[in-house]
Amino acid sequence: MSFIKFSEIQKTSQIIKTNNIEIELSSKPVKYYRHGWQSWSLAAWTDPSPLPVQMPAIFHPLQVDAQHVHKKYLNGSWLGAVEFADGDILLLGALATDTNVFLIENQLSGRSEADETEWFIAYGQENVCFEEYVEELGNRLAPHGELKKNNSPRVWCSWYSLYHAIDEPILHRIFDDLGDLPFDVLQVDDGWQMDIGDWEPNQKFPSGMNALAEKIKSTGRRAGLWLAPLIATKSSRLFRGHADWFLRDEHGRFVSAGFNWGEPLYALDSTHPDVTLWLVALMKQVRVWGFDYLKLDFLYAGALKGKRYKDMPREAAYRECLRVMRAAMGADAFFLTCGTPILPAIGLCDAIRIGPDVSHKWEKYRDAILLYNPTIPGTRNAIRTSLNRLWLKPLLHIDPDVAYFESKENSLIQEQKSLLQDLAYICDFKATSDLPQWMTNDELNQLRSFLNTNPKVKQTGRYIFQIDDRTVDFTSATSMPEIPKGLIALWAGFLGWLGDRHFVLRVFKMLDDNALRKRRASL
């Protein structure tokens, strides 16, 4: 354990090697930078006080680091920072995985769940502190040039237009209707597979995945594919046939990876030798099909707490799994990680999703206020967390998720769409899911201009940017909701309890599926 008084810290960075570290602050900070565990987890500068535990709890494994969600103190994964009244910050960041940073009263503390590790400390201007931290992270996590970045692709994906309601004929029609729009990648998202865990084409794709990839490549674009290789549903053949491949807790029970697709999710133990062979074979199969842009999702499952075949720290195990999959898919593939613990992925992928999913709605009162859930899909949630992870940009491509242009199936106002589009410019990662069939000529022209434009971007404040000759201020999108109190808090608690019931979630899925059928019928 290393103890440091704030008065001993100069306005220069330093690195200390220790298991645990505590820095005693000389004054109360005005803000705390809390950094969430994985892509969808909240990253934000907030008041230095605890936030409500987000609900429903059934989603904790797939939205936050469930090991720390109920702690009464402020927690951040790998790093944390405090801002003082004069605007300077103190940043404490680990240079290795399996670490956390806490603010407990007047102490900023770092804890390692593994061995002795290096801790980076910097005090001064925010941009300088984060730039120096990023440089040290790059030196540790990609020391042999792994951070060499491919060109940032312009992507169309199927998810935010049709979600899982895709099939071979409708995708063929969309690929043709995209015409000469300047996309580099057409990505097929969820809905092509037999089941979550069974990564073979279902009956909606009778020609097979080779033919689908060939169709995409015939348009002059790269073929992209979504899959979630580290989770499986209880109904999958994989889970039913290989229960011994899945992560268990100290009592021998399967570790929950959350709930989605109307079912409980379970996590593969990536240290099991048979799982490793299966993952390698899967990555190679996808490449044989013809896909070379791979979006691997729900990857947090590889770092959940549990008893593993190999006794090793959970994030270190996940990082080794990424290394295996990266090698199997080949260096020429573009590898996008999503739902991923952030630090363990650096140096092993081309791009990281840095925020929650966007949505055709800005924010829902139920999710934002009553459930106090900043990780659930929503455009404001996506913008908030993505802005607070821009410091990752020197390390790899940062994906803020798609931008919207069409209005037919979208409730966002133009100002909100523009913020998403500007965020894509800032991140230099352009993607959309909009269908040409839903777009007016004006909207198609806006999309074309967006894909072809590469403006000059300069950050002039924490959330203020100069984009060519325009000033864009995201501040209004970054604040946290009011904490529910009184009767509203009681109603929120009941709603959270309902949200933990499987039958309630299945009812919501049924309603969403019905709405999706109507949405698709509008084509």
pLDDT score recorded for residue 423? 98
pLDDT score recorded for residue 145? 58
Whether the per-residue pLDDT at 313 is higher than 90: the answer is yes
Position 7 confidence tier, pLDDT thresholds 50, 70, 90: confident
Say if residues 467 and 477 touch (Cβ distance below 8 Å): no
Whether the per-residue pLDDT at 149 is higher than 70: the answer is no
3-state SS string over 35-53?
A: ECCECCCCEEEECCCCCCC
Position 146 confidence tier, pLDDT thresholds 50, 70, 90: low
Between 148 and 504, whose confidence is greater?
504
Whether the per-residue pLDDT at 144 is higher than 70: the answer is no
CB atoms within 10 A of CB 380: 24
Tokens 């072809």 found at: 452
Tokens 């990424």 found at: 322
pLDDT score recorded for residue 435? 96
pLDDT score recorded for residue 147? 56
Query: Region 122-133: what's the mean pLDDT?
Result: 97
Which residues make Cβ contacts (< 8 Å) with residue 48, sequence separation at least 6? 28, 29, 30, 31, 32, 74, 82, 103
Beta strands (DSSP E) in 170-288 are: 185-188, 193-195, 198-201, 222-227, 231-233, 256-260, 263-267
pLDDT score recorded for residue 355? 98
